[in-house]
Amino acid sequence: MRQNRIRILQRFVWGPAVMWTVSVMAVKAENTPVAEFIGAEACAACHSEVVESFKGARHGKMLPKQKGIEFEKACETCHGPGSLHADAGGDKTVPGFNTIKMFKILDTAAVTSACLACHKDADRSHWSGSSHDRAKVSCTACHSLHNAKGHGDLVAKNTSETCYVCHKDVKAQMRRSAHMPVEEGKMDCNSCHNPHGTPTAKMLNASTGNQLCYQCHQDKRGPFVWEHLPVRENCMNCHHPHGSHHDKMLVTKQPFLCQRCHSYTRHPGTLYDADNAAKQRSQIFGQSCYSCHSSIHGSNHPAGKALTR
């Protein structure tokens, strides 16, 4: 027989002139039911498709090997003990129904905490405070343990398509005529960014944008006898990292790109405006600055001060 414990709570109530003390009867039930572990087979009674899909999923295979957790304990390792949930029989009005962790309705912090209980490797050491963490992106926004469509339990067929779910502006940039080799499958977003966080800006896989670019474009690294300072400063001064409608993913076409810095200096001394276009000047319709200043990233030639050779 359930026993009840009665407590007297003193509450203070302000009257017209004095403060009255009111005694309130508070009843607290003892021997409150506690959820217990019931095993994966019990879960399969209602969630057979989910349980079967999990058996063939990466987590279903790796938990016994990596963590020593047998399959029978797999469901409740993440969702918590399920006896009260099972006893509810699917009735959401029963208090015990919500005693398990349902990741679809959990807040971001709770989901992340559950995943990081196992995934504490170096790759995720910078998750806390990262751009995705601050934006309250949960692990299940990108990964699915039961309905994964791509490698790494991704919700889409590959890393890039998963990123495009939120970063639609980048997806549009990748569709431009001059773009990164992502569209051809030669690289993906992970090639440059770590979605789990880094100590650098934009979650880059290198200390700076230039160092990241140099991993593939080593011929642009230098050192050079004659440096082009904007190039040394940041590749993104001239190139758009995700894609552009201009040659070599330039942020704008030549000669206008060069004239952002080199306007009204040296030759021709005037901006290349509509009048030049109407007269079909070679600076507009030819290769412009690059036709002469071909070593635009830097030169090692003794006479290459103007980056012409």
- Shared domain for 96 and 120, answered yes or no, is no
| In-domain check, residue 22 | no
Mean pLDDT by 10-residue block, N- to C-terminus, for the chain (309 residues)? 42 43 45 86 92 88 89 91 92 91 86 87 83 92 89 91 95 93 92 93 94 94 93 95 94 86 68 67 67 91 92
Q: Residue 24 falls within a domain, yes or no? A: no
Q: What is the pLDDT of residue 5?
A: 44
Do the domain assignments include residue 62? yes
Do 112 and 191 share a structural domain?
yes
Which of 179, 205, 231 terminates a domain? The answer is 205
- Are both 111 and 200 inside the same structural domain? yes
Q: Are 136 and 108 in contact (CB under 8 A)?
A: yes
Beta bridge partners of 29: 4
| 182/117 same-domain check | yes
Distance CA 104, CA 138 (A): 10
pLDDT of amino acid 67? 87
Asked, for residue 200, whether it belongs to a domain, the answer is yes
**Domain span at 248:** 219-299
The answer on 115 and 42 residing in a single domain is: no
Question: How many domains are contained in the chain?
Answer: 3
Beta bridge partners, 13, equal: 20
Is 113 among the domain residues?
A: yes
Counted residue by residue, the chain has a size of 309
- Number of other CB atoms surrounding residue 198 within 10 Å: 20
For position 220, what pLDDT does the model report? 93
User: Do 186 and 229 share a domain, yes or no?
Assistant: no
Q: Which of 58, 80, 102 is the last residue of a domain?
A: 102
Tokens of residue 113, six digits: 């905490």
Considering the domain architecture, whether residues 154 and 187 belong to the same structural domain is answered as: yes
* Rounded Cα gap, residues 163 and 137, in angstroms: 12
> 72, 102, 132 — which closes off a domain?
102
pLDDT of residue 206: 94
Task: Report the pLDDT value the prediction gives residue 198, as an integer from 0 to 100.
Answer: 92
Domain shared by 234 and 201, yes or no: no
At 56 the pLDDT is 84
Indicate the pTM of the whole model. 0.77
Whose structure tokens read 């080199």?
A: 262
| Cα 155 from chain centroid (whole Å) | 13
H/E stretch holding 13 reads strand 4-14
Q: Is 19 domain-assigned?
A: no
The reply to whether 166 and 129 lie within a common domain is yes
Same domain for 95 and 57: yes
Distance (Å, rounded) from C-alpha 195 to C-alpha 174?
18
92 and 56 part of one domain: yes
Q: Judge whether 262 lies within some domain.
A: yes
Indicate whether 309 belongs to any domain.
no
Residues 173 and 199 in one domain: yes
